[in-house]
Amino acid sequence: MRGKVGLIEPDDTLRPQVLSSLAGAGLQAEPFESVREFLSFGGDDGYAVLVADERLDALSVRDRLCSDGKWLAVIGYSSRPALRRVVAFMRSGGYDYFALPIDIVELARSLSQLGQGRSEYATARRRAAEARTRLRALSPREGEVLEHMAAGRSNKTIGMDLGISPRTVEIHRANMLSKLGAGSSTEALRMYFEDTLLNDSTVDPD
């Protein structure tokens, strides 16, 4: 696993609850009330950062960290994550996103993947290769549905665009998740963006 987990949660009630869940799973976590407190503490490269999206706006937190030279893995969470919001977050470079209560097993797996390899670039490339391998198993129609999901479209809108019923869209989504081995639409979207943003990138590591 990659170092420590910083939990930025301004809610005095939720913060100890999330912290307790992390500790129960053996994850070393340090709580912070604000981004300012986290930055004052240091937040070195050994951190992944869990951010309460509903109260702090995980996208803004990520931008703030980057502007301060903190290129950390930012993981958002909220009680009822909207697909459009998750899409925007991951497109902007967010590492992962969870609904409350956080699935600690999935979080631990996500952090474990983050910690593999000699560098962030190696980790990202490995994840991208795995994503592309899984995405190749999708049928053309399932791939189209995933692309529309990545654009933040609803089942109804996807059905209208593709000329199929919303129920058929649901069937394609279920088959897609099964083939990808994804437990949720968020996980499938992460694979999609890892593939499109990393495999299609021509930027070499420093």
Please report the pLDDT score of residue 199 as a whole number: 53
Please report the pLDDT score of residue 55 as a whole number: 92
Q: Is the peptide bond before 205 cis (omega within 30 degrees of 0)?
A: no
What DSSP line would sit under 130-186, residue for residue?
HHHHHHTTS-HHHHHHHHHHHTT--HHHHHHHHTS-HHHHHHHHHHHHHHHT-SSHH
For 95, the 3-state DSSP assignment is coil
Angle at 200 between CA 196 and CA 202, to 5 degrees: 145
Q: What is the pLDDT along the chain (206 residues), one digit of tens a residue?
A: 445 789 999 999 999 999 998 888 888 789 999 999 998 886 666 678 999 999 999 989 988 887 887 778 889 999 989 999 998 888 777 889 999 999 988 898 888 877 653 346 446 656 777 888 889 999 999 999 999 999 999 999 999 999 999 999 999 999 999 999 998 999 899 889 878 765 554 334 33
Please report the pLDDT score of residue 97 as a whole number: 95
Please report the pLDDT score of residue 124 as a whole number: 66
Please report the pLDDT score of residue 193 as a whole number: 87
Q: Which residues contact 12 (CB under 8 A, 6 or more apart)?
A: none
3-state helix, strand, coil in the chain (%, to 5): 55, 10, 30
Is there a contact between 54 and 78 (Cβ–Cβ < 8 Å)?
A: yes
Instruction: For each of the domains in the chain, give its residue range(s) and CATH number, in order of start.
Output: 4-115 (3.40.50.2300), 127-199 (1.10.10.10)
Residues 154 and 170: their CA atoms lie apart, in Å, by: 10
Please report the pLDDT score of residue 16 as a whole number: 94
